[in-house]
Amino acid sequence: MRTPYLFFLGDVQDDLSAKTSHGIAHWRPEYCAGEFRLPGCGTTLELPEIGFEEAVQRGAKTLIVGIANAGGVISEAWVPSLVEAVEAGLDVASGLHQRLNDIPSLREAAEKHGRRLFDVRHPTVPLKVGSGEKRPGKRLLTVGTDCSVGKMYATLALEGEMKKRGVDATFRATGQTGIFIAGEGICVDAVVADFISGAVEMLSPANSPGHWDLIEGQGSLFHPSFAGVSLGLLHGAQPDALVFCDEPNRPHMRGLPGRLPPDLKECLDANIDAARLTNPDVRAVGVAFNTRKLTRSEAGDLMRRTENELGLPCVDPVATGVGPIVDRVVEL
């Protein structure tokens, strides 16, 4: 996918439904040419609001449907705008479940105008089943107590800090937002179940011995809807290093009222145990908290307490940076 991006926010009502766009804008401001909103849209990236023609004039190459709605559907109300974008000269990319390529008017317009449609949620390469065989290069995986606790943010912060220190490192995207940020990747929750670990082996191939792949985790071993994805990802990643991600004080697991998130120590032990199947030398190297709902003093207390309990550096990737975790990683 070619950058810069123009963001299509449609008529979504809140920031959460546009979290894909917000994530890209946070991590890759240099990719962001502007935003396009339909009447009634309830979110903004605070980018220039521009039309398709103007976006092309400013150099934008791809319209990102940066939306995460229930069911992953492309609203019929959006289609005329997407067709207009293609006619104006933009490629279109979406991470939704429903495919851009399955909308006849849009596909026709893309063929006519020589533009491309990217459905990043759907793997386009043939996958293999995982082998479990150890491959050269080093790998770090972020895992979590729950879905949406900040695994992608932690991974991208680690990439930034490691590159700043001159460490040879690559962010490996496993979800739609990550793929828009990296420009490539595989949505592991969208592959056929037989190929989960194989997809991750393909995503993070053999590399030079000192190179670090920083692999974005998905779901949680403790989430009854998605733990299979998380386990296959863990086995395919063969991580040398695990970073544990948590959002403190969640009242329940995402989407499952009444189901409490696991204790961090329990999460740590279960992930280390499971990871040993494909990498017996796996090590925990840190904890990344999302402390946006805590006061600064609550966050500080939590990190000190957890550091004492687990003997691991604790950070908030956004508020404090991930330096102490990278210190630990480079020792490995």
Interacting residue ranges for a copy of itself, rule: CB under 8 A = 129-132, 188-194, 196-198, 221-222, 224-233, 235-236, 256, 259, 270, 273-274, 277-278
Helices (H), 142-190: 151-164, 176-182
Q: Kindly give, in sequence order, each residue whose CB lies less than 8 Å from that of residue 46, ignoring residues fewer than 6 positions away.
A: none
Both tokens of 80, joined, read 């005329």
Distance from chain centroid for Cα 78: 24
Chain position carrying tokens 């809140």: 14
Nearest distance from residue 229's CB to a copy of itself, in Å?
5
Query: CA of 138: how far to CAs of 103, 207, 286, 317, in Å?
Result: 41, 8, 16, 21
Beta partners for residue 280, in sequence order: none
Both tokens of 91, joined, read 């490629």
Nearest distance from residue 75's CB to a copy of itself, in Å?
19
Distance from chain centroid for Cα 332: 25
Nearest distance from residue 256's CB to a copy of itself, in Å?
6
| CB count in 10 Å sphere of residue 10 | 24
Nearest distance from residue 232's CB to a copy of itself, in Å?
3
Given the complex with a copy of itself, which of 103 and 199 has the nearer CB atom? 199
Given the complex with a copy of itself, which of 269 and 301 has the nearer CB atom? 269
Given the complex with a copy of itself, which of 70 and 311 has the nearer CB atom? 70
Contact 69, 80 (CB under 8 A): no
Nearest distance from residue 142's CB to a copy of itself, in Å?
17
Given the complex with a copy of itself, which of 43 and 176 has the nearer CB atom? 176
Nearest distance from residue 131's CB to a copy of itself, in Å?
7
Given the complex with a copy of itself, which of 62 and 279 has the nearer CB atom? 279
Given the complex with a copy of itself, which of 227 and 310 has the nearer CB atom? 227
Tell me the three state secondary structure of residue 115: coil
Sheet holding 169-172, edge to edge: 169-172, 212-215, 138-144, 241-246, 283-289, 314-315
Tell me the three state secondary structure of residue 26: helix
Nearest distance from residue 270's CB to a copy of itself, in Å?
8
Tell me the three state secondary structure of residue 18: helix
Which H/E stretch holds residue 37?
strand 32-37
Q: Kindly give, in sequence order, each residue whose CB lies less than 8 Å from that of residue 269, ignoring residues fewer than 6 positions away.
A: none
Q: Are strands 212-215 and 138-144 parallel, antiparallel or unpaired?
A: parallel
Nearest distance from residue 291's CB to a copy of itself, in Å?
27
Given the complex with a copy of itself, which of 61 and 121 has the nearer CB atom? 121
Chain position carrying tokens 């912060």: 157
Given the complex with a copy of itself, which of 192 and 330 has the nearer CB atom? 192
